[in-house]
A and B are shown apart, each in its own frame.
Chain A
């Protein structure tokens, strides 16, 4: 009889409620969900900031300047890092546990059409987004590689003139969209927020949010990478190719 007796407890029992919570399957997912939702808020503000790119170099650089000079920025950045770390670390742990939960895979697995493209690719899109973030932060924030210059606008748009770079952005941002298409409504479910009246609404809003974020961010590499293709002047801010909005300045 393989398992008639209770299995020996694998982890030492801990009396600390918080640790038990974080170690638990549900607790992990709740933390992932909470961190994810906070990250969604960040995405929204980040998108708003990024869209200033369309207002042209000076406006964007003023915005960048304002951010950089805010004394609370390191705190916010630190918070962001913590959120990402929680989200990623716990998601990875959950994923590993999930792989261990089915050691022998099915020869044929079809399911009954409940999964969505977003839900079945969370680990994949999550990893893609992580890689993207690393490249994004390295190239944009720490300006590793690319055209060095005093203004951020030129630096950023300069990057997008590299079709490989812009192309990667496009792929990664579709990944973000997919990740969010499942993640947002899933987070609500994990937090226990399921109600016959509101859940359909949450699902719709989650999908809308995913599309909004993905399209919003995508507009930047697509516009600067593929539509306004002329890297007219080196990025020094004086004579910039301006977008439709920027042109209205």
Chain B
């Protein structure tokens, strides 16, 4: 396997323009002859499907939910970054590029990040034109707020529901195309395999989740926009349905999986209350604009927060990182919280830290705070039955986003020609840590402004013969899907899939979570295969494959997580350094900050599948930093 990034040469400011010019074009009349299968309808999937259909391609769109509008992008709260510099506070494309590369701890491809920053402004324009109701100032201009890892206000937002509004914008564009007949929609379908013909992706196998019917779909290109794999930890801020299945099965068909160990732990989530808990709820990072994070100075201080006087509180982020204060990047805020809890200064059973709004309420008034964060406060109130206007929120880090994903080149194409990967599902832009409000930016950049160009280059430069779903490759893929289903149904054990998923989650969180070390990772590499074995002996899948069967769906996803978790741990073990969201305890500075090893690990690690029971092979794509001076991140 060769990793060719296809990054254009020359000055970075010109590279995307030059690349676009160099890409061959598809004649408008010919576009409709190409069929593109888009899997997933989040920000990346919906925006890509709609934009491709607008260009004239023949598009089919697939999602597991009952409607494309429910993809998990909908849950993104805080905002979307763009280098508009509307607040006149010194922002620029270059600064957004710089902040993102630095925020990613120098583990992202410079050219990709630059392009992302470049197209960011167009995204805001596009979304506004679609009728996305971003927050506005009284004069009618767009409002901005600040987010972690940046010292400028470049985040556009629609209350605490920015992801929802952006997704509904993309969804409306998609619906427009469905109505026009240019996109065919397949809801409640789960992609279970990629069909590769002569080394080129030519179709997918999906299961109709209502009837259980396994379907073959051919296409001239396949786009995986299937999100991240955070649910490998069982508990995460992801939706219950989020899974690794689509990208994992693509990996098994030859797509390299890059940097699986880069997982983001979000610092502000509602803490866990019990074993039955099915998900962790995020409290938007935007809250750190006005909320102050603290713990008691004294260990094991069990007094109520309002009884702890000011001088006995440790506003540790403000203390440790005076320049960025509460707005340090997520990985740093999360680790700092873990540190406090490890020191025994956590609150409410030592499982959380406080996020306090009393000062903001005093400064701005309760109404203003409500206007900015009302829905987040309500959400917190619903879950905990505590009123955050009166008592500080209790927060704890939780798995939130995964920077790793299928390896893609500058054109967003995986190592399987014709198979593209967009949004969170790919590895491309965030390096080892993603900055707040950049996921929405990347998903939409890929879908609206990158892929629609690069796919043209692929079609114009590739000879694609005719294909039908009767091809042997389709038959083989379908029968392997059916065999997998049959195998799951045949176990007839006693453990519901979620019981085993939870078990995996415990191992992942304890040993492959926020702090990782060789010992723990090696243990995890023993334990994960053991749980996998237990899974295939004891899993209980009731019902049949020919009906609506959520237990079967769940089992299939857990089976993939049980394989994928091992790769994640392996990647974490191999990466003998700390960077961004990947923190190896052996590699830290005396004051507990991440210590990179640029000599040995300034590269992307991409794993190649070698077959059942065989060790995957690790490939490296070296990273060079010609434009941003590589340095130790410093937010103090």
Interfacial chain A residues near B188, Cβ < 8 Å = 1
B105 on interface, CB distance cutoff 8 Å? no
> Chain B residue with minimal CB distance to A4?
B187
B530 on interface, CB distance cutoff 8 Å? no
Inter-chain CA distance A9–B181, complex, in Å, is 17
For the complex formed, measure the closest distance between the CB of B61 and the CB atoms of chain A, giving whole angstroms. 12
Interfacial chain B residues near A1, Cβ < 8 Å = 188, 208, 210-211
> Chain B residue with minimal CB distance to A6?
B179
Inter-chain CA distance A1–B208, complex, in Å, is 8
B152-210, CB < 8 A from A: 185-188, 208, 210
Interfacial chain A residues near B187, Cβ < 8 Å = 4
For the complex formed, measure the closest distance between the CB of B66 and the CB atoms of chain A, giving whole angstroms. 10
> Chain A residue with minimal CB distance to B186?
A4
Proximity bits, A1-33, B CB within 8 Å = 1, else 0:
110100000000000000000000000000000
Inter-chain CA distance A4–B67, complex, in Å, is 10
For the complex formed, measure the closest distance between the CB of A9 and the CB atoms of chain B, giving whole angstroms. 15
Interfacial chain A residues near B211, Cβ < 8 Å = 1
Tally chain A residues at the interface, Cβ within 8 Å: 3
Interfacial chain A residues near B186, Cβ < 8 Å = 4
Inter-chain CA distance A1–B547, complex, in Å, is 11
Inter-chain CA distance A2–B210, complex, in Å, is 9
Inter-chain CA distance A93–B210, complex, in Å, is 35
For the complex formed, measure the closest distance between the CB of B62 and the CB atoms of chain A, giving whole angstroms. 12
Interfacial chain B residues near A2, Cβ < 8 Å = 210
Inter-chain CA distance A67–B255, complex, in Å, is 90
Inter-chain CA distance A4–B186, complex, in Å, is 8
B211-227, CB < 8 A from A: 211
Interfacial chain A residues near B185, Cβ < 8 Å = 4
Inter-chain CA distance A2–B187, complex, in Å, is 12
Inter-chain CA distance A4–B187, complex, in Å, is 8
Inter-chain CA distance A179–B208, complex, in Å, is 49
For the complex formed, measure the closest distance between the CB of B41 and the CB atoms of chain A, giving whole angstroms. 15
Inter-chain CA distance A221–B383, complex, in Å, is 58
For the complex formed, measure the closest distance between the CB of A4 and the CB atoms of chain B, giving whole angstroms. 7
For the complex formed, measure the closest distance between the CB of A2 and the CB atoms of chain B, giving whole angstroms. 8
For the complex formed, measure the closest distance between the CB of B417 and the CB atoms of chain A, giving whole angstroms. 32
> Chain B residue with minimal CB distance to A2?
B210
Inter-chain CA distance A2–B548, complex, in Å, is 12
> Chain A residue with minimal CB distance to B208?
A1
For the complex formed, measure the closest distance between the CB of A1 and the CB atoms of chain B, giving whole angstroms. 5
Inter-chain CA distance A239–B95, complex, in Å, is 101
For the complex formed, measure the closest distance between the CB of B585 and the CB atoms of chain A, giving whole angstroms. 50
For the complex formed, measure the closest distance between the CB of B263 and the CB atoms of chain A, giving whole angstroms. 36
Inter-chain CA distance A2–B188, complex, in Å, is 12
Inter-chain CA distance A4–B178, complex, in Å, is 12
Inter-chain CA distance A1–B211, complex, in Å, is 7
A59-81, CB < 8 A from B: none
For the complex formed, measure the closest distance between the CB of A6 and the CB atoms of chain B, giving whole angstroms. 9
Interfacial chain A residues near B208, Cβ < 8 Å = 1
Inter-chain CA distance A2–B211, complex, in Å, is 10
Interfacial chain B residues near A4, Cβ < 8 Å = 185-187
For the complex formed, measure the closest distance between the CB of A93 and the CB atoms of chain B, giving whole angstroms. 29
For the complex formed, measure the closest distance between the CB of A5 and the CB atoms of chain B, giving whole angstroms. 10
Inter-chain CA distance A2–B66, complex, in Å, is 12
For the complex formed, measure the closest distance between the CB of A35 and the CB atoms of chain B, giving whole angstroms. 35
Proximity bits, B490-518, A CB within 8 Å = 1, else 0:
00000000000000000000000000000
Inter-chain CA distance A4–B185, complex, in Å, is 9
> Chain A residue with minimal CB distance to B209?
A1
> Chain A residue with minimal CB distance to B188?
A1
For the complex formed, measure the closest distance between the CB of B136 and the CB atoms of chain A, giving whole angstroms. 20
Inter-chain CA distance A155–B599, complex, in Å, is 110
For the complex formed, measure the closest distance between the CB of B549 and the CB atoms of chain A, giving whole angstroms. 15
B104-128, CB < 8 A from A: none
Inter-chain CA distance A101–B263, complex, in Å, is 48
For the complex formed, measure the closest distance between the CB of B190 and the CB atoms of chain A, giving whole angstroms. 14
Inter-chain CA distance A4–B188, complex, in Å, is 10
> Chain A residue with minimal CB distance to B211?
A1
> Chain A residue with minimal CB distance to B185?
A4
Inter-chain CA distance A160–B188, complex, in Å, is 66
Pick the 5 closest A-B CB pairs, nearest first. Answer: A1-B210, A1-B211, A1-B208, A4-B187, A1-B188
Give residues in B with beta carbon < 8 Å to A. 185-188, 208, 210-211
New A-B pairs, 6, CB < 8 Å, besides A2-B210, A4-B187 = A1-B188, A1-B208, A1-B210, A1-B211, A4-B185, A4-B186
In the complex, 8 of the A-B residue pairs with CB atoms within 8 angstroms, ordered by the A residue number, are: A1-B188, A1-B208, A1-B210, A1-B211, A2-B210, A4-B185, A4-B186, A4-B187
